[in-house]
Amino acid sequence: MPNVAWSDPVRDAQWYVSTLHLADVHAIGRGSGITVAVIDSGVNGAHQDLTGTVLQGADADLAGIGWTDGGDHGTGVASLIAGHGHGGSDGILGVAPDARILPIGRSTSALDRGMPSTRIPAAIDYAVQHGAKVITLAFGGVAFGELEGAVQRAQAADVVIVAGTGNVGDPGTEGIGGINYPAKYPGVVAVTATGRDGTVDPISVTGAGVVLAAPGADLYVASSTGGYRRTSGTSLATGVVAGAVAVLRARFPRLSARDTVALLTATAVDRGAPGRAAQYGFGGLDLLAALRRGPADGTPTVPVFSAAPSASPGGAPAGPWTTVVLVAIVVVLVAWGALVVLVLRRRRRVIPPGPPSDVPPDIFHRPN
């Protein structure tokens, strides 16, 4: 009987792996060193595709470790962010398989399957305090002041927040009239879900505030039970974009949160109406293009330090005259630096921060 190569049906169904060119992406970066907070229903850190990836986090009451997924939702989102599969080529492969997941899940005393809305602001603050560079908010609802304040504090701490625009017909979203909060807040990366053909899935809530579109329809995700489930929704697209942010922030560690978003929007594939569209925002996610383009200012991918040589160019040890000259140069540079600082302090004026020059300003001040 001829040998037949095993083909994992779960991995084979992950069409975004080829659409996003993840093999090429992962040859450049895999999100190492980046923590992504998943504020959701909890994450099953013992799932075979997430072992070693999920940190000890917290439940919504900021107790526990966040590993109980009572709603079978957060585990799936986390797998699309940082799933590493198993057995070589089986299971869920996330966009940033070397990133770490910080789970903040449902309250251990809550009766509902998700997170009480009143706990979300504290969860966002917790994520920032525990080193998250990306926060995933794969849920939607109405606005309230404490939530907006927490979002603003995270943004001020240079954290990228990614949120789904919402799914058509989701309970609790009646009467919102368009994109759900927190995706609707200024500066949040609001994401719609696309299918295999690149078009926005009908399940996605669309509107003037959409920032990016990403794969999110007909995908397998890891289940809290240890297996898999097939589903669709903007929550999945949120996980995909959060993984993309993690890869970029790992590859370009000096890139600010705003400039990271700028890079993603500048390299997105324009779809729908020319320019920014209600269904696609600035376009479909193209992480490989963003990695290849890199920061516009030529910022190095890692900090560059060069040690001073211990010998003169000819290889001979530096003599006393060399030392005297070097000391004199240092003294002059210090004096000149003090003069420059004095002049700058006299001339300094406060310049309010703004969006990167190559990103339309309305991404940070979107209409309600």
Q: Where are the domains of the chain?
A: 9-297, 317-351
CA–CA gap between residue 303 and residue 312 (Å, rounded): 26
Q: List pLDDT tens digits, range 196-221.
A: 999 999 999 999 999 999 999 999 99
**Is 7 in the active site?**
no
Q: Which fold has domain 9-297?
A: Rossmann fold (3.40.50)
Q: Which residue of the set 84, 235, 259, 286 is catalytic?
A: 235
Q: What percent of the chain has pLDDT over 90?
A: 61
CA–CA gap between residue 318 and residue 316 (Å, rounded): 6
The dihedral region occupied by 167, where left means phi > 0, alpha psi between -120 and 50, and beta the remainder, is beta
Q: Which residue of the set 40, 72, 98, 201 is catalytic?
A: 40
**Is 73 in the active site?**
yes
CA–CA gap between residue 26 and residue 21 (Å, rounded): 9
**Is 40 in the active site?**
yes
- Give 270's DSSP letter: P
H or E element that contains 166: none
Looking up tokens 């980046």 gives 34
Q: List pLDDT tens digits, range 285-337.
A: 999 999 999 997 554 443 322 232 233 333 333 443 333 333 344 343 444 44
Residues whose CB falls within 8 Å of the CB of residue 300, separated by 6 or more in sequence, listed in order = 254
- Give 259's DSSP letter: H
Q: List pLDDT tens digits, range 147-187.
A: 999 999 999 999 999 999 999 866 655 445 689 999 999 99
Looking up tokens 């910080």 gives 102
Q: List pLDDT tens digits, range 57-82.
A: 998 777 788 898 888 999 999 999 99
Q: Which residue of the set 41, 49, 69, 73 is catalytic?
A: 73
| Residue 48 pLDDT level (bands cut at 50, 70, 90) | very high
CA–CA gap between residue 361 and residue 368 (Å, rounded): 15
> How many CB atoms are closer than 10 A to CB 88?
9
Please give the distance of CA 121 from its chain centroid, rounded to a whole number.
18
Which tokens sit at 194? 């696309």
